Structure 1
Amino acid sequence: MPILNSHQRAILLMIIAPTMWSMAGVLTRHLDAARGFEITFWRSFFSATFVAGAMMMTLGWSKAVATVLAVGRLGVLSGLMWSVMFMCFMIALTKTTVANTLIVMSISPLLTAFLAWLFLKQRIAQRTWAAIIAAFIGILWMFVSSMSGVQGQHLVGMMIATAVPIAAAVNLIAIKRAGHGVDLIPAVLLGSVFSAAMMLPFAWPLQASLHDIVILAILGFFQLGLPCMLMVRAAKRLSAPEVSLLALLEVLLGPLWTWLGAGEVPARETLIGGAVVMLALVFNELAAMRTVAVARN
């Protein structure tokens, strides 16, 4: 008898994925010369390299190519949404603060729940709505003391950041609509390729040192490529709002890693808000597991 059922394994994958995503801030703090567009280019390039390598190792060359060609319109749409997320997140950070960017990104669960109801006719449990609202309030509290005024360049950055939760919500709906019949791991590859290709003209001439390249390779492999693949796998077993909620762990853990790895001490509001977010996530998942157990009995 397996230790974890399929739903629990999916939850575990969706805990690992945002934990890996959350390492972006602390790793980029240690870059020497690479900035903005170049970070996005290299991160996307190495993500594409990792996903392509993983597919060839597990499927073989011919089957990997066939899988990419078989993604269909939903796969291309998912790839485009991944590329929007990859690009707009980094571009937004060049225009406004991390706090402002994360505040905008935190609306993703609300958008995802609405689109899931609209396009997938998916009933959203009251506990999930409650968790979404509680998590949103917690995130607002986390960054209330450090939010910048939304004028000038900050407003531009926040408008760009708005594309991230919209793309994330559309991407999850595409993955859920594709169902189990279509493998959308290749969509992560397509998104990485699209992002790298679009960022290269803006990143040229490249300035990254060898030290930077190593860090950017780690970002591409383990902060982008691998966790995005894990999310696609987890999304097969979890509802779209549930995936989007668990993805908020990235917002929660990001300040923690920069505290431990870059000496940026979090404010009291960050700790209190983070506790609210964590309680909301734990409550939602425990309630979901209880519902599954009751249904089986």
Structure 2
Amino acid sequence: MPSHDAHTRGLLLTAIGGLTLTIDIPLIRLAHGEAWTILLLRTGTTFVAGLIMWAVWRSLSDRAPQLIPGRSGLVVALLYGLGSIAFVTGVFNTSTANLVFILAFTTMFSALLSWVFLGERPRPLTLGAMALMLVGIVIIVGGSVGSGHLFGDFMALCASLMVASAITISRASGKDMGFTALIGVILPFVVAVFMVSKVGFQVDAPWWIIFNGAIVMPISFFCLANGPKYISGPEVAMFYLLETVLAPVWVWLIFSEAPTRNSLIGGTILIVTLVAHSLWQLHEGRKRRAALAVIHPA
């Protein structure tokens, strides 16, 4: 059972990661570039920043984690890489609100995959939450039919599934994957280099996306990837919700892009369900820890 100090450290880490992640999409949009150029700059700077962080850590301590820990690490890196491609594609093919609302389904994808592959059967309340969230996704995607956003919504769903798969494999392996997500961007970087060589380098304000890749993504990825070492999954999921709530607000303030009616209805269902389910899981976790403390007092 983690100590109070470790729990506080975990909350601080994930709060920093979650808040930092909320400006990812606005920075991508501010760069005003073609999708493959944005992907090239974003992943290239993230990869370099990740290597620098790891090299500094290794020079100061012999406890620096492996960049890619074994075969499971390789699979996780591949999944994060594919998820990055799907995410950036979604940014350019659907609204920000649709994108982040659908990405919120990552938590439920994780629960479903844990059930199928790890034998962790969800409780009835979790199954009910999955059903409600599926209704929200159907409402959002249904509103995109005929609007040209359907492909972008599908890419957001793919990104959500890839991240959930990476989380599930990370949990099953028990290995430190703190740097794996950062190194996994090498796949989309190689793909982006090839595509940019065909379509050309097109970006109006590259400094926004360079700042995003060099500072924002390494901080958010590293903090969120290390959070589960100190706090529970539901607590980490609560901080992932910050992007779902705040990213559409930043985009609305900067670009005056208001969510559609269907997006708001479906997104509200998703957020309310996730928050209620996460709070319930936190309550159950505290009850179990309290019971253990009574049985095995320190």
TM-score by length of 2: 0.78
1:169 aligns with 2:164: yes
Check the 8 A contact 1:78/1:187 in 2, yes or no. yes
Equivalence for 2:36: 37
Which amino acid letter does the alignment assign opposite residue 59 of structure 2? G
**Alpha-carbon distance change, 267 to 6 in structure 1, aligned in 2, over 3 angstroms:** farther
Check the 8 A contact 1:41/1:199 in 2, yes or no. yes
Deviation at 1:58, TM superposition (A): 1.9
Superposed CA offset, 1:154-184 (max 9, x none): 45444444421221121011110121xx321
Structure 1 residues without counterparts, runs of 5 or longer: none
Deviation at 1:268, TM superposition (A): 6.8
1:95-114 residue pairs with structure 2 within 5 A?
Answer: 95-98=93-96, 101-102=99-100, 104-114=102-112
Equivalence for 2:293: none
Deviation at 1:195, TM superposition (A): 1.7
Which amino acid letter does the alignment assign opposite residue 295 of structure 1? R
**Alpha-carbon distance change, 92 to 224 in structure 1, aligned in 2, over 3 angstroms:** same
Aligned mate of 1:256, from 218, 226, 249: 249
Which amino acid letter does the alignment assign opposite residue 117 of structure 1? W
Which amino acid letter does the alignment assign opposite residue 76 of structure 1? L
Check the 8 A contact 2:101/2:270 in 1, yes or no. no
Which amino acid letter does the alignment assign opposite residue 87 of structure 2? F
1:63-78 residue pairs with structure 2 within 5 A?
Answer: 67-68=66-67, 71-78=69-76
Q: What is the distance in 2 between the residues matched to 1:61 and 1:208?
A: 38
Which amino acid letter does the alignment assign opposite residue 294 of structure 1? K
1:224 aligns with 2:220: no
Which amino acid letter does the alignment assign opposite residue 171 of structure 2? K
1:98-137 residue pairs with structure 2 within 5 A?
Answer: 98=96, 101-102=99-100, 104-134=102-132, 137=135
Q: How many residues align?
A: 287
Equivalence for 1:202: 195
The two structures, once aligned, show a CA RMSD in angstroms of 3.6
Equivalence for 2:21: 21
Check the 8 A contact 2:234/2:282 in 1, yes or no. no
Check the 8 A contact 2:86/2:158 in 1, yes or no. yes
Q: What is the distance in 1 between the residues matched to 2:224 and 2:21?
A: 11
Identity of aligned residues (%): 23
Check the 8 A contact 1:38/1:203 in 2, yes or no. yes
Equivalence for 2:295: none
Superposed CA offset, 1:95-134 (max 9, x none): 4444554565444333221110122222434444444455
Q: What is the distance in 1 between the residues matched to 2:123 and 2:4?
A: 23
**Alpha-carbon distance change, 178 to 86 in structure 1, aligned in 2, over 3 angstroms:** same
**Alpha-carbon distance change, 197 to 115 in structure 1, aligned in 2, over 3 angstroms:** same
Equivalence for 1:148: 144
TM-score by length of 1: 0.78
